[in-house]
A = this chain, B = another copy of it.
Amino acid sequence: MTRISRRRSPTDANGNPAPPEADTSLGMLPDLIGYHVRLAQIAIFADFDEALARWQLSPGLFALLVIIEANPGLRQSQLARAAHLDRSTLVPALDKLEARGLVERRAAPDDRRSNGLWLTDEARPLLAAARSAVDAHERAIAAELSAEERSRLLDLLDRLAPHRRR
């Protein structure tokens, strides 16, 4: 006996059509990749937020810290490009990180329009701890996947919407 389908059928156990009351309605949505991606994203981000709550780091802020750590002295516009954000979007995010003493803007020596971005000494151990939490989060969300399935998933995701990836 094999499991019939991921999707519940719109009929109940007696073969009667499900009443509108049933929550199977979304099963009526065509099996769109975007829809499954969105549901996965919601679940993953909720888990990330809970896992990183101790450090008050959203996926976005965590990413900024990781990029700055890997590229000390990075300019704001470079960071914006790397994080796929408008440079105006980055400003309040950096304000937040700077207010929390995790990032420093230092005037660039060669170009007085630019700021170099640096992790503070306070940020380094925090980021290390956050990384551990992210690792645990990653294990939790991929708990049902083998290592092979996991890398297969990453590959398939990367091949979506090829005409859109810059």
Contacts and interface: CB of A to CB of B under 8 A. Distances in A.
Interface of A: 6, 20-21, 23, 25-26, 28-48, 59, 63, 66-67, 69-75, 78-79, 81-84, 131, 134-135, 138, 140-145, 149-150, 152-165
A164 B67 contact: no
B66 A29 contact: yes
B142 A33 contact: yes
B152 A42 contact: no
15 contacts: A20-B71, A23-B78, A25-B67, A28-B66, A29-B67, A33-B138, A34-B41, A38-B59, A43-B161, A43-B164, A47-B161, A140-B163, A141-B161, A149-B156, A152-B152
Contact of A156 (B45, B83, B153): B153
| Copies of this chain per assembly | 2
B161 A33 contact: no
A157 B32 contact: no
A45 B41 contact: no
B31 A154 contact: yes
A38 B63 CA distance: 12
A56 B73 CA distance: 43
Contacts of A75: 20
Contacts of A44: 33-34, 37, 160-161, 164
A34 B20 contact: no
Contact of A34 (B6, B30, B45): B45
Contacts of A31: 154
Contacts of A134: 30, 32
